[in-house]
Every structure is written in C-alpha cells, then in structure tokens.
Structure 1
Amino acid sequence: MSLTDDLEIRSGGIIAVDTDHLRDAAARLAVLADDCDVLRSRLSELAGVLRDADVWAFVPTAEVTAAGAQAASLAGGVRSMAETYDLVELWIQIEVARSSDDSARVAVLAALSGQLIAAHPDAAARAAGEVAGWVVGHREGAVAQLGGSVGAFGYLMPGWSLRQAAGLVGSAVALLGTIAIDGVGRGAVAATPLRGDPRPVTVTPLTSTRGTAPTGLADMATRIPRDDARVRVEKYTMADGSTQFVAYVAGTQIGADADEPWDMQSNVELYTGSRSASYDATMAALEAAGAHPGDTVHLAGHSQGAMVASHVATSGVYEVPALVTLGDPVQVAVGPGTLSVDIRHGDDPVSALAAGGHPAAVGSADSFVAGRTSAASLVDGEMPMQPHALTRYVETAALLDRSSDPRMTPVRSLFEGLGQAVSVQVTTYGATRPS
C-alpha cells in the first residue's frame, strides 16, 4: 500500500477562521451590492432616455440587478459564517476555562454566548453542526482504515459481499473505539505536571560522534532512534559560545524485555497523566548530555516518544522553541513560545487516541497540524498498525519539506539557525530500569 499525496496542513482545532476578515469581506460585498443598485438605477434612467429618443441599444440592467442581488446574498452568508464561528470560538473558550476550573470566566463567556444566540438564533444550530462535523471528521480515518465508513451505518444491503460486510464490521469497531476514546477524554492534555515520583532508571551512553544539523523534517524524523538507543541528543555550540540541544525520543518497544523503559506500562502511565520510566530516562539523557534547567532544547519524537517529548516541553525545566511530534497518542497544550509541528495520519490507530486533540489551536501562532490518510484498509490487506510506522511518517515529513505552504517558513528558519552551529556533538543513550 502507498499513501496518497494528499497532504493537509491546518492550524489545529475545530476552526481556523478569522471572523474579522469575514466581516470585512461581508462589508465589501455589501458596498458592492449598493454600488450595483446605484448603477441599476442609472441604467434604468438611460434606458428610458434611449426609448424616448427612439434609439435602440443594449443596456445591461438585468445583469447589474442580478450581480447586486448575488453580492447582497453573499454578504449575508459571509456574515452568518462569522456569527457561527464566533459562537464556536466562544464554546471552545468555555471548555478551556472549564478545564482550568475558572468558573468566573465560564460565567462571563456563557453570558456572551447567550447574547450572541439571542441576537442570531440560527447561529447555534450552524455552530453545533460545525462541531458535530469536526467530531465525525476526526473519526473517519480510523473507520476507513478498517474498511468501512461512518456513512455505512445508514443501511445494510441484501446480498452484500463478505468484503463489504467486513467493511461494515470494521466501521463499527473503529467508530465505537473512537467514541470510547472521546469518553475517556485523555487525548487532549493540559500543560500540567505528570503525577507521581521519578522512576528508577539507568541511562547509558552508547555512541558519541560529531554530526550536522538536520536539513528538514524528514531528516529530523530519520534521527529518531530505532535500534538499541532510546534517546539521541545533539548538542549545538554556536559561534557566540551559546549552546542548544535537540533531543529525539524513540517510540514504544513491542515485545521488549522486563527492564525496558519504553514498554506498554510507560505508554499507559503517560496516557493517563503519570510519570513513566521513559520520561525520566529522557530527562536523564538530556542532563547527561549537558543540558541544564533553562537551556534551549528542541524536541522530536514518534509514538510514545512523542508523548514523552510533549511532556518534557511542558515540564518547565527547559526552554523549548520547537516540538515535532509524529503519531502522538495525545496532544499536549504547549505554550505560545513553542512552535508545534504535529504530524498525524488519519488512519493511524495510535494517533486516534488523541481523539482529535484540543478544540483550540495550541503552541505558537506558527504552529500547525499536518497529515494525510491512506487509501487502503484492513480489508485490502493493510495491517492496522502500518500507518503508524515511523517510515510512513518520514514519507509524510518529506512531503512537508517539499511543500510551498508558507507555514513551513518558520520550520525552515529553525533548521537554518541550527545549521549555523560551529560544532554538533551527537550522543545516543540506552536505558534500563529494574525488572
């Protein structure tokens, strides 16, 4: 199976709409409608003068009237869009305030929401439709990967083939699974410390070499450890003597030994908000590489490593200008000082654990979520975990590197800045914990 070349880059959250721009567009359309009305009136006068003079000429009165009516209709529609998205944005802010136990802000925002609904009664239904569409949309990839679609539940046709029936069963399993994930509510994570005490873990340096800065996201993704190493730390010494670090964190080790920190136990602990041996091993590796509290550390990770990197980014120990995650089971609300590049596959069952992530965008203004969905499914012989493979994410990262989307400009600037280092020391670390 090959992934399609359809790459989506979005700002994250349910909506990514500037309602001020919508209102500006509506105002311009309204002015255009008024101008058309004035022109229609003058053309009507001209037509009358020509008739009185017994002169025939084509006067486009009907066309100008139609253009004015269309502009007025568009203006009304665009204003309705702005009202709808304003209401969705208010609902998002209410959920954020509620998750922070800010009851006073919830009350203020709820009052604003009520006022907006009272002024524009139809906006509530449209806003609810947008939210429902987003909820269904973030499930579609997982459902399709198992051979079906959300729409397959409408009816069951007599004489369906085994393949079609398998697709319906796959749809049911995937849809129920994503609904269950939504109910657990662990996918969208606030920037709060992990619970629990540090876990006993031993970190051992495996290799130490000179290196170079990554040239792009795909190059960065290929540096995530896939062998005996669990964490790769690059120490950059800049021309002014300052230092920066880039840490790459490995994904889950399936079938690992009992002393493996990157096991399913750590997965469950991190997903439920607890410290894990893999998290503490990553922090120990950074310390061993010379990173001190307050130092600049860029982070990248795949799968469990993405969860670890996300929690390191919000730990408050380091300054984290950039976080690159691939197939992250959660979406942690990193702060506005962090450029978050969140790469996800719509048919990746591990990424589906994030349940769509935060309804609002997270990270800096330059942050984005990017990804694509494969065309094949379980019914076609595609194994459920194949879309989660790091090699697949490297392919998607390469598409981003080739993209002309302007949101890639800050990412390229990051790599250009790292490329100015006078030296790069690369150390890989293995880790064990008491079995």
Structure 2
Amino acid sequence: MSGGLDITHGGAIAVDPEALRAVADALVALASHFEDAAHAVRRAHGSLAAMPTTGAHVDTAALWASVDRTEALHEDCRTAGENTRLMADVYELVERRAQLDALAIQGKPPTGALLDRVAALEASDPRVLEMETWLIAAWEKNRFDGLDEQFDLDGLHAGPGIAVLFAAAAALGARGFGRLPPNATLSGSAGPVSVAPVRTTAPIAPPTSLAEGFRRLDASAGQITVEKYSMADGSRRFVLYSKGTQSLASDEPFDMESNIDAYLGEEPASYAATIEALEASGAEPGDEVQVYAHSQGAMNSAYLSTQSEFDVSVQVTAGSPMHPTVGEDQLLIEMRHPDDIVSGLAGGGLPGGSGATDSIVATRDGSSLDLGLPAHMLGNYIETAEMVDASGDVRLEAWRDKARELNEAVSIESIEYVAKRE
C-alpha cells in the first residue's frame, strides 16, 4: 500500500453543511468590502482627474484599472459565497434524506420538523434537486474505485475468472448486501461451538492508539481475545479483539462457511463463538464492549452492535465486508482500502455515514497488487491505522476519551480463546 489517506464521516457526506455556510457567509462579507473599496477608488480617481496638475504625479489610468480588478474580485467573492451556500443546502438535503430512509427502515414516522426542513431545502433553489442527484450519482459511481486495480490481470495472466470475481463483489455491494439497516439481526442458529482459553495475561493499560489495538489482535494466540477491565465502582468493561478468516473449511469457526452465513444474514459459527468468549470472560447483558476487528471478525462485531444485549460503544474495524447502521451513541471507526475486494463487499457505505458525529471512515489507496490480496491483509491495515493516529484529526479525541476511561480500571485481565466447531 502507498499513501493517499483520506478521512471522512463516510458516504457522500464528507463535509459539515454548517461549516460550509460559515465559509459562504465569510465570502459574502468579504465581497462587500471589495465593493466598498471599488467605490472609494472610483471617488479618488474622480477627485484626482479634476486636478490637472496631478497627471504628472499619479497614474490615473492604472488607478482606474484597479477599480476594474476590485469589482472583479467583488463579483468572484459574491459568486463563490452564493455557490458555497448552495452546496451546503445540497449536502444537508442528502443528509436529511438519509435520516428519512433510516426512520423508514425502523418503521418510525418522520418528525414534522424534519419534513419541513426537507421541503424548505427543496424550495430554496431550483438547482438543489438536480445537484443532489449529481452528488449521489457521483458517490454511487466512485465508491467502488480501485477494485479493478487489485490485480494486474494482463501481467499475471490471471484469466477472466478473477475479473468476474471482482465484478461480482462490486455487484453484491451495489445491491446492498453489505449494508446493515438499524437493529439488523441474524436468522437461524449456528451449530455448536466451544471456546477454550489458551493464554491469560494482565496488560497494564488499554491500547494507546488504533494501530496498537490491531497489533494486539494480530498477536493473539487464538481467534478471539477478550480484555476485562474491573472498575473501582465494581462495574466491568470489555475490549474484544476478533480476527478474520483463518481457513477455508475445517472445524475452524472462522472459515468460509461462516463468511457466507454472516454476509447473507444467517448466524455464523464464528459469531456464536464470539458470544461464548465474551460470556466466558464474565460479560453480561448491558456491559460495555469495545471492539477491534478485521474482516470476518468485523462482520461479527457489526451484528454484535445491532442485535446483542451488550453495549457496543466503540467499533474499530479493518477491511469489513459490511457497513453497519449504528446509533448516534456508538463510535464507528472503519479502515478501508478501495482496492480491497473484501471491503468492496460493503457496498461503499451509506450516503449519510453511520454512528456518532466523531465516527470516521479512513481510506488509503494502493496500486496494482498481486494474488496474495495484500490490500486486505491486517499488516497493511495496521499501517493505515498508524497514519490515522498521526493525522491529527480532531475526531479521534472521542476515541481517546473512551481509552482514558479504561485507564481508570483497578485491574485488567486478558484471555485469548481458541474456538472450534463441535
């Protein structure tokens, strides 16, 4: 992977409409100053032109030319301010429609205030509706950029099968298979699984960075690790680390069968194992759980946040085939590589993003890669996480606040689990 880090809230909305309106107001205010300046220079030119002796000392032609330049700057600022305000309305309209869609999925009626705001935005300018269509169309077209660059098909003589695979991934994502609605649930019940602890340690602190969270996941001797934080008030909090696919087929719950089950909405054995590992560590309904997960583990964490009885307050995921719709009280931090076929199954996310206002989607472009799927490998996502940690993005402060809360624990216990199908 190379550089090109981009951090947004996800989907088509990558800016704050109110921030855009503040910029628009500043541009319009600046335009009025240019207009005042043009009037002042014009008056000065008139005064000087009425004094015949000034021609030898003042270039009145250049002075008049400055009037033209100042008036042009006034028009440029005014137009830029009006266009910026128009774009703010367009972005807000997309965001409001996403809210309406989310309410419809949940079977809840929209508020009168929301409907009135949508109507006001639609009526604000005849161009708003057309520009909204352009914005969504551009997002729909570009959200799968990079998938066709995953393999150098000509150089590797990979044949049409790989190209078909990537086209199928994009098609599945585009049809919405990887986008979970609010409160999504799994159907059916996975076959019996068991989890056994293979190593217990006592970390001295929670992860101090996003990258460290993924490193702890990578270093686990099992597929699942659970850290239990015992707080001074007697409550407990948990941090779950969940790996991706470990094999194609075996007694391994983290296999391709579980991938297919989870993606199609059937309970996978790996999800059942995840619940058992949390319960074996002492987690009970209502306990807070923070998650670091890769690939298949991220699919399980998505359903953990939408259907389980645990309070999933933070999800930090890498290369997830799904994009969950989570509540405004849940922090969702996603690492995605546009040239990662597995991430492409998520369908490019939602037009309005998901989760708390400080939730982010971090993407990093790569180049043509080989058949080892390095764009999806956890090691490359750790590099992306390191870049996010170093980005200085202010939204990361919300994640740091959650980490600081765990620092108040009086004891920490980490248990690594190996899960098996029975």
For 1:342, the equivalent position in structure 2 comes to: 334
State yes or no: 1:300 paired with 2:288: no
TM-score, structure 2 as length reference: 0.88
Of the candidates 30, 47, 62, which is equivalent to residue 68 of structure 2? 62
The answer as to whether partners of 1:341 and 1:369 remain within 8 angstroms in 2 is yes
For 1:398, the equivalent position in structure 2 comes to: 386
Query: In structure 2, what residue type is equivalent to 1:293?
Result: P
State yes or no: 1:282 paired with 2:274: yes
Of the candidates 127, 132, 135, which is equivalent to residue 137 of structure 2? 132
Question: 2: distance between equivalents of 1:340 and 1:18?
Answer: 18
- 1:121-170 CA distance string (max 9 Å, x none): 2222222221122122211121222349xxxxxxxxxxxxx559989997
- 1:359-399 CA distance string (max 9 Å, x none): 2221112111112121233xxxx126221111111221222
The answer as to whether partners of 2:95 and 2:351 remain within 8 angstroms in 1 is no
TM-score, structure 1 as length reference: 0.85
Of the candidates 6, 13, 18, which is equivalent to residue 8 of structure 1? 6
State yes or no: 1:260 paired with 2:252: yes
Query: In structure 1, what residue type is equivalent to 2:173?
Result: I
The answer as to whether partners of 2:172 and 2:347 remain within 8 angstroms in 1 is no
For 1:74, the equivalent position in structure 2 comes to: 80
Structure 1: gaps spanning 5 or more residues: 149-161
Cα 1:315/1:139, change in 2 over 3 Å: same
Q: How far did 1:16 drift?
A: 2.5
Of the candidates 366, 372, 395, which is equivalent to residue 374 of structure 1? 366
State yes or no: 1:53 paired with 2:59: no
Query: In structure 2, what residue type is equivalent to 1:88?
Result: V
State yes or no: 1:220 paired with 2:213: yes
**Alignment coverage as a number of residue pairs:** 413
**SS of structure 2 residue aligned to 1:8:** strand
Question: 1: distance between equivalents of 2:181 and 2:221?
Answer: 30
- 1:38-93 CA distance string (max 9 Å, x none): 33223222211111112233533223212211111212221221232233223323
Query: In structure 1, what residue type is equivalent to 2:82?
Result: G
The answer as to whether partners of 1:336 and 1:364 remain within 8 angstroms in 2 is yes
**SS of structure 1 residue aligned to 2:147:** helix
For 2:92, the equivalent position in structure 1 comes to: 86
* RMSD of aligned alpha carbons: 2.9
Cα 1:336/1:109, change in 2 over 3 Å: closer
Structure 2: gaps spanning 5 or more residues: none
State yes or no: 1:141 paired with 2:146: yes
- Percent identity between matched residues is 33
More displaced 10-residue stretch of structure 1: 165-174 or 336-345 = 165-174
State yes or no: 1:430 paired with 2:404: no
Question: 1: distance between equivalents of 2:115 and 2:156?
Answer: 46
For 2:301, the equivalent position in structure 1 comes to: 309
For 1:362, the equivalent position in structure 2 comes to: 354
Question: 1: distance between equivalents of 2:84 and 2:181?
Answer: 34
Cα 1:384/1:128, change in 2 over 3 Å: farther
Question: 2: distance between equivalents of 1:408 and 1:108?
Answer: 31
**SS of structure 2 residue aligned to 1:320:** strand
The answer as to whether partners of 1:349 and 1:384 remain within 8 angstroms in 2 is no
Question: 1: distance between equivalents of 2:226 and 2:216?
Answer: 10
Cα 1:397/1:32, change in 2 over 3 Å: closer
**SS of structure 2 residue aligned to 1:140:** coil
For 2:265, the equivalent position in structure 1 comes to: 273
